[in-house]
């Protein structure tokens, strides 16, 4: 059986692939098309193989494809309808990024509670502050995590260790969590609203004017998922006019965030360039998941992280 894999994964996978597997390694768009031509399995999601239009062309170029896999957790940028029409299986990287993203969230929330960016600005000015810019703590605060998948659960676990009372939002309500129709009335209760949900037709701009106005004036919005979960033009107003305390944005709409965006210069905004998933350990995690799923694929067992193409996650 032939599989098509990005050359960036060769060192991690080459000596660990089972016997009988032939690999077509690719490193750009054109070589991805050639690699897919006679492959049954295609790894997508690296530069040159992850854009929607490229994936659609790959589907046309790969008549023998049966399984597509991506290390990304979100699949909102993929042609799910086309994948479904071909009857292909798609798996994603749910859980691979949970640890580094959760650590970034804790870091950003601590920075917000302590107003740590002001210490950095003061250092840039060579200024010794006479008193701390903030006396906030995470202990005793309350957080709402919208989306309790692998990433949301990892965030919740770490925040509880800091004494944060965490409530999650799931597709269906369960003990200790809220359902999709239950969380909005509870927004005034929380000091932190953390977006960890997938982007679908039903979650686009799920945080808009009514939600931002309902939040505490001191609350922070944290978005490490997709920028389009939040109506960004309304968020700018909310931050300027003091509807909420601030925002940590690892995801913006669009990306990259344009240099003229007012978000860059707002003192109550912390921005990272969609980098919270970055980790030196990510390649090994991706390799382990792929090898396990490849073994399952060869033995015709259910794959891990199979995407529901209709639901979009």
Query: Given this structure, which CATH class describes domain 98-271?
Result: alpha beta
What tokens appear for 285 in the block?
């995690």
> Model pTM?
0.92
pLDDT of residue 29: 85
User: What pLDDT tens digit does each residue of the chain (313 aa) get?
Assistant: 999 999 999 999 999 999 999 999 999 888 999 999 999 999 996 544 457 888 888 889 999 999 999 999 999 989 999 999 999 999 999 999 999 999 999 999 999 999 999 999 999 999 999 999 999 999 999 999 999 999 999 999 999 999 999 999 998 766 779 999 999 999 999 999 999 999 999 999 999 999 999 999 999 999 999 999 999 999 999 999 999 999 999 999 999 999 999 999 999 999 999 999 999 999 999 999 999 999 999 999 999 999 999 999 9
Please list the helix, strand and coil fractions of the chain in percent, rounded to the nearest 5, in that order.
40, 15, 45
For residues 128 and 268, the answer to whether their CB atoms sit within 8 Å is no
Kindly list the catalytic residues: 226, 255, 274
For residues 143 and 165, the answer to whether their CB atoms sit within 8 Å is yes
Tell me if 2-94+280-298 shares its fold with 98-271: yes
Shortest CA distance to 246 belongs to which of 224, 225, 263? Answer: 263
Residue located via tokens 């679908």: 200
Number of Cβ within a 10 Å radius of residue 309: 18
Rounded Cα–Cα distance for residues 3 and 68 (Å)? 10
For residues 33 and 58, the answer to whether their CB atoms sit within 8 Å is yes
pLDDT of residue 171: 83
Beta bridge partners of 168: 145, 177
pLDDT of residue 173: 61
For residues 236 and 249, the answer to whether their CB atoms sit within 8 Å is no
pLDDT of residue 47: 47
Rounded Cα–Cα distance for residues 187 and 262 (Å)? 25
pLDDT of residue 48: 45
The residue ranges of every structural domain in the chain are 2-94+280-298, 98-271
If one looks up domain 2-94+280-298 in CATH, what number appears?
3.40.50.720
């Amino acid at each position: 059986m032939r599989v098509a894999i990005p050359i960036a994964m060769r060192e991690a996978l080459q000596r660990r692939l089972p016997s009988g597997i032939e690999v077509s390694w690719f490193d750009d768009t054109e070589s991805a098309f050639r690699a897919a031509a006679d492959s049954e399995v295609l790894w997508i999601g690296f530069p040159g193989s992850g854009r929607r239009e490229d994936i659609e062309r790959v589907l046309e170029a790969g008549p023998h494809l049966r399984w597509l896999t991506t290390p990304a957790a979100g699949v909102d940028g993929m042609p799910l309808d086309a994948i479904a029409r071909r009857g292909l299986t798609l798996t994603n990287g749910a859980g691979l990024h949970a640890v580094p993203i959760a650590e970034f969230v804790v870091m950003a929330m601590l920075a917000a509670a302590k107003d740590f960016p002001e210490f950095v600005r003061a250092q840039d000015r060579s200024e010794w502050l006479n008193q701390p810019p903030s006396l906030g703590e995470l202990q005793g605060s309350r957080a709402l995590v919208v989306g309790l998948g692998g990433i949301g659960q990892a965030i919740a676990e770490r925040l509880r260790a800091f004494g944060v009372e965490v409530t999650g939002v799931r597709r269906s309500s369960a003990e200790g969590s809220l359902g999709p129709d239950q969380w909005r009335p509870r927004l005034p209760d929380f000091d932190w609203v953390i977006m960890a949900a997938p982007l679908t037709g039903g979650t686009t701009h799920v945080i808009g004017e009514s939600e931002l106005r309902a939040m505490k004036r001191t609350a922070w919005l944290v978005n490490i998922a997709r920028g389009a979960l939040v109506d960004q033009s309304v968020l700018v107003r909310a931050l300027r006019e003091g509807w909420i305390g601030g925002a940590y944005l690892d995801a913006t709409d669009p990306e990259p965030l344009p240099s003229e965006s007012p978000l860059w210069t707002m003192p109550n905004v912390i921005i990272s360039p969609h980098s919270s998933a970055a980790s030196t350990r990510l390649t090994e995690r991706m390799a382990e998941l792929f090898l396990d799923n490849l073994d399952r694929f060869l033995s015709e067992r259910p794959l891990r992280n199979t995407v529901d193409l209709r639901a979009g996650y």
